[in-house]
Structure formats: structure tokens, C-alpha cells
Amino acid sequence: MDFETAFAHYQSNTATAEETALVERELEKYRLIEDYFAARELPELPEDTALAASETKAVKRRLGRRTRNTVLMAAAAMLAVLLLLQCAVSPLLNRRVYSSADDHLDFDAAMTALTGLYMPLGVYVGSSLSHTGFMTDTVSLQFSDLTGSTRFGVRTGLTLRLGVLGRLSASDLLPLHYALIGYFTPTLNADGTEAAPTDYCRQALADMSDQLTVTSAVQFTDRLSADELAALMARHPELTFLSGKVGNEGVYTPQSLFCSLTPAGISFGDALEADYPGFTLPHTNITGAALQQHFEAMLQCLIDHPSVARSAAMMGNEAHNYKRLLQDVQDNGLQFTGVWVQGSPSALLSLMDESSARSISNYEAHIRLANYDAS
């Protein structure tokens, strides 16, 4: 007889007497087995449980100590790195940019060159370094305004962090015409041709007293060579030629470069001249060869000091490819399209009588009190 079939009939109350007896015998066996296991004592585990809990706490304590030690070691390592950067690495990298050699300061020489190329109405006169923050120094720069419009000079600063200089402030250096060329941009007619120069600036000069000193931008009819500009300067010793606008084509955009025509504001001595012959212009008897050598020396100085050169970069890029420009000047000679010049109104009008002078734009005028004649 099949037990499974008999159990099914037993559950549905359709089992025969024989099937009922079979199922109840099996159920009795189950009850006996259940009573047997119920009567047995199961082992207690309090000691093992307590031991496990104790071991768990011990493990947690060890992990906590390890975690704290790891955090403390990481914090100490980070602090050590920061102290190393602040006390050793940053000063070392910054000294590579702002450091002295022989009897001149490399940084000041490069900044003098940069001023001579970018700031036609200014002269660089010196710098100082101060620590201003974590891994940060500030180089304070001092300039003289050749127009005399800013009595106490022009000041600005450059951040120096981990050997990298920040960018020059165009707004701070605006009085020096930093990277501005508007006075030498020709006016165009509607058809794109160059407009004829107007006479109102000449007339303004004619109406001024010679007790005034006027700063003006003069554009040339054609490009002048360095020799031609030197000859023009020699013919007008009563004028002070401040800076020449360089006119070599195809070597710099969008801002044009200038060539300073005045002596440097810092005396560097023979050491700098040995490295960069002609860097400092003579006070008198300036020749075309001296002008070209002076311009080439300024370019080479910035080539040798790229960190300073990059501080004058415009719109995220270096403004000029100095090496390519230097090669162009060496191959084709230095050329000029105009000058910034300073003098009395009559002296400026005399300059405008030159066949090479196309137009003049007056920028600044002030009274020369030292030679003022009340009569």
C-alpha cells in the first residue's frame, strides 16, 4: 500500500480502515521522534558568545587606533609637504626668477627690456620683493612717466608663485601706453584707403606757447631705417625722442613693439653690457647701429628670461615671437613707422617740416616752470 496515497485519503476523510491504520502508525513514529529530541538538553553558548563580543570590541579598538594613526600620519605628511613647499621649494623656484647675478639684477634687466619694448612713455626704475601669502611673493614695480602727467610715477605689482610670474596690469600701466598703438593706427576711408592727415593738431601746436612741453606721436610717410631715424634725431637736438614704433612687417600681432630711445632708468654697469652689448643707449650721438644693437639686446634679454617675457603676454598667448623677430631684424634691419617725441610746440612744428613726417597727434602738454618767462 502506497503511504502517500493513503495520507491523501486520510486528509480528505476518504481513507479505508487499512489506510487509516497505516497513516496513524507513521504519525506515531513522528511523535516519538519529536519527544526524543525535545527531551534532550542543547548545549549553552554564553561563554562563546561573550568571548565573540569581547573579540569584536578588541578588533574595533585596534581598527580605530589604526584609522586614527593613519589619519594622523597622512595629516603630518601633508603638513610636511606644505612646509617644504613654503619654506624650501617656493623660495628656491622664486629665486630662479628674481635673483641677482654679478652687479646687476637679472629680473630688473629683463623688466627694463620689456618696458623698452612695450611702454613707449615709461622708464623702469626698480623693483622690490615681499612675501605676501602662502607660497606667494609679490614683486613691486616702479616706473617713471616720461610725459610728467603722473608726478609720483607709476606702480604696479606681479605675483610670483612657485617660480611663475603673473601678468602685468594693463590698467595700472595705462599712463605709460602699455601695449597701445592707437596713435600710430592710420585712419581709413570708407573704401579702405588711408585717409589724408588732418591739420588740426598742427594748428593746435601753432596756437600754443613755447613755455609748454608737448608729448606727441609722429607718424612717418614711409618706414625709416635705423640710420634714417638716427639722422632725424640728430637734426632736432632740441627735441627729446622717447620711443620709436617698430615697423618690421609680419613678426608681431596684434600689439606692436616699440624701441626705447631714452637711457635706462637703472645703471647696470659693465656686466650687463658684456652679456647684451648695446643694451643701454648712449645719452648723445646715437647712431643707427646703436639703435639696432640696442633693440637686438632687449630682444635677446627677453629670450633669455622667458618668465618675465610671459608676464607681458596678451590674451593667454605670448604677444611676440622674439626669436623670429630678432632674426628678421638681423636679416632686414630695424625699421620704424613713427616716434613718440617731446618738446616745445615750435620744435615739434619744425619736425613736421621734415619730408618723412606724415602726421602728428598731440597727447600731453605741461608748463616748463624752470624756464618760465612771465613777460
Contact 177, 144 (CB under 8 A): no
| Distances in whole angstroms, Cα of residue 352 to Cα of each of 22, 68, 120, 205, 341 | 137, 82, 20, 11, 11
The pLDDT value given to residue 104? 42
CA-CA distance, 37 to 298, in Å (whole number)?
105
Buried b (16+ CB within 10 A) or exposed e, 76-93: eeeeeeeeeeeeeebeeb
Q: What is the rounded distance in angstroms from the CA atom of residue 79 to the CA atom of residue 260?
A: 48
CA distances from 341 to 72, 226, 319, 362 (A): 67, 16, 25, 10
Q: Which residues contact 298 (CB under 8 A, 6 or more apart)?
A: 112, 113, 116, 117, 259, 260, 276, 279
What whole-number percentage of the chain has pLDDT above 70? 80
Mean pLDDT of 160-180: 85
Q: Which three cell numbers stand for residue 94?
A: 622664486
Query: Which of 143, 369, 349 minimizes the C-alpha distance to 266?
Result: 143
| Distance (Å, whole) CA 306 – CA 310 | 6
Rounded (10°) CA dihedral 275, 281, 286, 288: 50
Evaluate whether 185 touches 344 at the Cβ level (below 8 Å): no
pTM: 0.72
- Assess whether pLDDT exceeds 60 at residue 42: no
Instruction: Compute CA 291 distance to the chain's CA centroid, rounded to the nearest angstrom.
Output: 30
211 or 102, higher pLDDT = 211
Most confident of 61-75, 81-95, 323-337: 323-337
- Pairing of the two strands 240-246 and 164-165: unpaired
**How is residue 15 written as a grid cell?**
481513507
Position 48 confidence tier, pLDDT thresholds 50, 70, 90: low
pLDDT at 319 over 50: no
Residue 287, phi then psi, degrees to nearest 5? -105, 170
Residue for grid cell 588740426: 200
- The helix, strand and coil proportions of the chain, stated in percent and rounded to the nearest 5, come to 45, 25, 30
Helix (H, G, I), strand (E, B) or coil at 27: helix
pLDDT over 70 at 18, yes or no:
yes
pLDDT value at 336 more than 90: yes
DSSP single-letter state for residue 325: H
Residues 251-307: pLDDT tens digits? 554 457 899 999 888 888 788 889 999 999 988 899 999 999 999 999 999 999 888
In the chain, what are the domain boundaries?
3-39, 106-165, 178-371
Element (H, E) at 154: strand 154-161
